[in-house]
């Protein structure tokens, strides 16, 4: 029987939908079959994929269903024996010679969502042309007969492997864990109930990690697992009460990171990216391009000029950053939303690994995180960032975008004249105070409004003024 087609589209990083509504077994089967067809036609019939999942509702069940579908089409499938971070799947695709990696995750989306991410054989997000190839293959749902999961295991078409532990062992080989421990650094780790839970404790030792939200809770206590400042209010008290040196927070599939310093003050992605450039180039002697997305700090441009490094700007979405790593010699690549990658690891966001690199920097330099940030400001000036995510109706969202695209956009922001406008990805306005960006979310009915200025107060004022002008 053929069922009515429902829309399945991949956003900035995968297909996501509400469980039981858009994210159904039928639709998961459609996407899995399309992905399998793409793998077979691109890489040959004797291909394999690896599948992992996060801690969301029925993640393991959805993984087993996708594995059955793909195995029935002749593809060999390895699945994780337990929940695992997205970067573990990306690394596993490259390390074990699979043609693709699949992650059943909705990343930082609210708890009612699940999703389907595709990773390339090279260990990073599938490139835009790869995703387009899968999307065009998604057809109507048709009933197919499948053997039960254990039958495919018995036949050798599905294997189960300890991917999470393999990933932990790999990360341990990349970071100077001994230096972090010898420096006496202790951290709070907020896993936000996601797939990164307990990993920092296993790497650094339970005596050095205070765990927060490191448990299975598919409802996430009502807070979307996104490591941005407003979702991390408990960390300040935990840091100060336990005398910790920093906090690391990861999103639902642990590919993104947020941090707080020893005072509990949030350290955003812009500053973390700048610290990575500083450490890898000045301390480790590495060189390469800096690649940033359209919504990321201009401090990186100043650093590139100062250090003699190339820099380029991409559309928003880590698939563009990952693609840049494949195209050339990239030192650091990243985005405003907490995703970043560095030379020497997979071309993929990895919130666990990046947090450890920052801790290693603190240990090697013998400085607290707040001091490292102050050192950046002393060299490159103050940079502060503010962002609002405005949930709105589809009609209002469309009206705002039409005004910005067709009716001249904004001429002033917070009383300052717009000196330059850009539209690489969204609508960006430069003034004497800094810049402001308005962009629709690729996965939710949301308009994102961002600003960067010399102080948080000015950045917030820019966002507030723009939203008022647009009736948001």
CATH class of 15-164: alpha beta
d(CA 460, CA 437): 12
pLDDT of residue 5: 53
* Residue 250 · residue 190 · CB < 8 Å: yes
Confidence of residue 146 (pLDDT cuts 50, 70, 90): confident
Two domains, one topology: 183-266 and 384-469 = no
Res 3 pLDDT > 80: no
Mean pLDDT computed over 369-377: 97
What is the architecture, at CATH level 2, of domain 183-266? 3-Layer(aba) Sandwich (3.40)
Domain 384-469 has CATH 3.30.465.10: no
- Whole-model pTM: value is 0.94
d(CA 351, CA 353): 6
Question: What would the pLDDT profile of 213-237 be if each residue is shown by its tens digit?
Answer: 999 999 999 999 999 999 999 999 9
d(CA 73, CA 66): 11
Q: Which residues contact 71 (CB under 8 A, 6 or more apart)?
A: 77, 152, 157, 158
Confidence of residue 2 (pLDDT cuts 50, 70, 90): very low
Q: Which residues contact 268 (CB under 8 A, 6 or more apart)?
A: 229, 258, 336, 385
Q: Residues, the chain, total?
A: 472
Confidence of residue 445 (pLDDT cuts 50, 70, 90): confident
pLDDT of residue 13: 82
Confidence of residue 442 (pLDDT cuts 50, 70, 90): low
Question: What would the pLDDT profile of 253-310 be if each residue is shown by its tens digit?
Answer: 999 999 999 999 999 999 999 999 999 999 999 999 999 999 999 999 999 999 999 9
Q: Mean pLDDT score of the chain, rounded to an integer?
A: 94
pLDDT of residue 1: 44
Mean pLDDT computed over 132-152: 86
Confidence of residue 139 (pLDDT cuts 50, 70, 90): confident
d(CA 203, CA 144): 44
Q: What is the CATH number of domain 268-349?
A: 3.40.120.10
More confident site: 308 or 152: 308
Confidence of residue 443 (pLDDT cuts 50, 70, 90): low
pLDDT of residue 4: 45
Distances (CA, A) of 463 to 194, 412, 415, 428, 449: 30, 12, 12, 12, 6
Q: How buried is 88 (Cβ within 10 angstroms: 0-12 exposed, 13-18 middle, 19+ buried)?
A: buried
Q: Which residue has the tokens 């062992």?
A: 169
Map out the domains of the chain as residue ranges: 15-164, 183-266, 268-349, 384-469
pLDDT of residue 368: 98
């Amino acid at each position: 029987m053929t069922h009515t087609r429902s829309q399945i589209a991949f956003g900035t990083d995968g297909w996501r939908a509400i469980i039981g509504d858009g994210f159904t077994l039928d639709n998961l089967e459609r996407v899995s079959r399309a992905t399998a067809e793409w793998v077979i036609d691109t890489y040959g019939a004797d291909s394999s994929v690896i599948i992992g999942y996060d801690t969301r509702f029925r993640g393991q069940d959805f993984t087993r269903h996708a594995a059955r579908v793909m195995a029935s089409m002749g593809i060999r499938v390895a699945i994780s024996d337990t929940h695992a971070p997205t970067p573990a799947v990306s690394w596993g695709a490259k390390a074990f010679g699979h043609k693709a990696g699949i992650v059943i995750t909705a990343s930082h989306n609210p708890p009612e969502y699940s999703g389907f991410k595709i990773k390339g054989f090279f260990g990073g997000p599938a490139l835009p042309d790869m995703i387009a190839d899968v999307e065009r293959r998604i057809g109507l749902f048709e009933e197919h007969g499948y053997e039960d999961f254990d039958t495919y295991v018995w036949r050798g078409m599905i294997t189960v492997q300890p991917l999470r532990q393999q990933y932990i062992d790999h990360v341990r080989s990349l970071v100077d864990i001994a230096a972090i421990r010898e420096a006496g650094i202790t951290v709070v780790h907020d896993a936000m109930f996601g797939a990164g839970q307990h990993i920092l404790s296993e790497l650094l030792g339970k005596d050095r990690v205070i765990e927060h939200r490191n448990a299975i809770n598919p409802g996430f206590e009502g807070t979307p697992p996104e490591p941005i400042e407003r979702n991390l209010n408990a960390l300040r008290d935990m840091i100060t009460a336990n005398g910790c040196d920093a906090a690391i927070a990861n999103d639902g599939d642990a590919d993104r990171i947020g941090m707080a310093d020893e005072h509990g003050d949030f350290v955003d992605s812009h500053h973390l990216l700048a610290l990575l450039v500083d450490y890898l180039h000045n301390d480790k002697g590495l060189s390469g391009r800096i690649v940033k997305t359209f919504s990321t700090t201009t401090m990186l441009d100043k650093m590139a000029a100062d250090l003699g490094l190339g820099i380029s700007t991409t559309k928003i979405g880590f698939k563009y950053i990952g693609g840049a790593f494949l195209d050339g010699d990239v030192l650091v690549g990243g985005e405003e939303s907490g995703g970043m990658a560095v030379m020497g690891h997979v071309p993929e966001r990895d919130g666990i690994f990046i947090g450890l690199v920052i801790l290693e920097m603190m240990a090697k330099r013998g400085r607290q995180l707040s001091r490292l940030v102050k050192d950046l400001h002393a060299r490159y000036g103050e940079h502060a960032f503010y962002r609002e995510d405005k949930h709105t109706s589809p009609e209002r969202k469309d009206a705002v975008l039409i005004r910005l695209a067709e009716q001249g956009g904004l001429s002033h922001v917070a009383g300052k004249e717009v000196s330059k406008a850009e539209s690489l990805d969204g609508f960006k306005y430069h003034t004497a105070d800094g810049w402001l960006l308005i962009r629709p979310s690729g996965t939710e009915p949301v308009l994102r409004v961002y600003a960067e200025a010399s102080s948080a107060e000015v950045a917030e004022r820019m966002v507030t003024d723009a939203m008022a002008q647009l009736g948001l």
